[in-house]
Amino acid sequence: MISKELLHDKFRGAILGCFLGDAFGSGFEGMNPEKARFHMDNLDSPSVHHFVSKKFPRSYTDDTDMTLAVVESIIQSSGVSPENIAKQFSLYCDLTRGYAIGAIKSVLALRAGMKWYEVARIVFENGSFGNGAAMRVSPVGLFYHHDLDSLQEAAIQQANITHVHPLGQWGAVMQACSVALAVNQNPKESFKKEEAIIHLREVLWCGPIEYIKALNKIEEMLAQGKKLQAREVVQSLGNGVEAHFSVPTACYIAMNYSPDFCDAIRAAISLGGDTDTIAGMVGAIVGAHVGEKGLPVEWIEQLEDGPRGLSFARDLADRLFETWWKIHQTS
């Protein structure tokens, strides 16, 4: 049984962990593994826990921006309401934060009055299989960490606003489930990988075969008992914007490196490719495992703290936990 205090800390850890991974990963997006590693090695101070460079600001991108909107919606609706999430996207998404063209068109369509259930096909006729639904889904993993069946449904519901392709939807399910499993881990112990694989397989078995195949690869890679080189991870699982080539990668990195948050984020960034999203997803999973108390203070101090910055994100995490607690405190 997780104490109220620890659970609260884990809610904060996941939201701020996503913020950190996104903000620190954004400066390396699009690089290949060798270039990403080179820049990291040359930017680090003597402490491996501290990135120091004015060239790469610690502001967040669309990943965190949409995550905060999902948190606000869950608080307002006491659960996942696609209609309300779409409303939050319309009101608060800051399209200057590195949004992809598909997401920009979707948000603009919502602002023009299009129904939320009509938006997903305006860019991709068959639906997007990008990782946009997965990058913002960590609040769903937190709010439904106690009920994986409800989590699966909620993750797909929030995905449907922009991602109706099964690969995009089930990438969100895999990420949300990984966050939920991390909530239930002991923050002082290593991630229980074998147990997590079993739960993930049970949740993903009725989804696209690509995720089961990726899960099998993850199991094989973890069984080697070592941390593979970035190029090996990319060749096996990918580092792209497609959900099935990034969500499994994030899950593998998180399980293999947690509870060391700093090493997990560094490993995610070293993969190159879609670094902000992969590192953001890793940060959410590991943050849910270790809580805010397990996050590096010197990293947190570098994050932006404007109107919707660090203080706002921490306050939203608190309110999300309070909403969950009011519903479940008697059970």
Q: What is the mean pLDDT of each run of 10 residues along the chain (331 residues)?
A: 94 98 92 86 56 63 98 98 97 95 94 94 86 98 97 98 96 98 95 96 96 97 90 96 98 96 95 97 98 95 92 98 93 65
Measured CA to CA, the distance from residue 176 to residue 78 in angstroms comes to: 17
Which pLDDT score is estimated for 40?
78
Instruction: Say which residue the tokens 């491996």 belong to.
Output: 48
Measured CA to CA, the distance from residue 204 to residue 169 in angstroms comes to: 11
Measured CA to CA, the distance from residue 327 to residue 144 in angstroms comes to: 12
Which pLDDT score is estimated for 55?
47
Measured CA to CA, the distance from residue 35 to residue 33 in angstroms comes to: 6
Which pLDDT score is estimated for 141?
98
The one-character DSSP state at 1 is -
233-239 — which CB contacts under 8 Å span 24+ positions? 233/271, 234/33, 234/271, 234/272, 234/273, 238/273, 239/33, 239/271, 239/272, 239/273, 239/274, 239/275, 239/278
Measured CA to CA, the distance from residue 201 to residue 222 in angstroms comes to: 15
Measured CA to CA, the distance from residue 158 to residue 41 in angstroms comes to: 38
Which pLDDT score is estimated for 331?
65
Which pLDDT score is estimated for 330?
73
Which pLDDT score is estimated for 125?
80
Which pLDDT score is estimated for 50?
52
**Which region holds residue 140: left if phi is over 0, alpha if psi is between -120 and 50, else beta?**
alpha
Q: Kindly report the pTM of this predicted structure.
A: 0.95
Which pLDDT score is estimated for 46?
45
Domains detected in the chain: 27-325 (1.10.4080.10)
Which pLDDT score is estimated for 48?
47
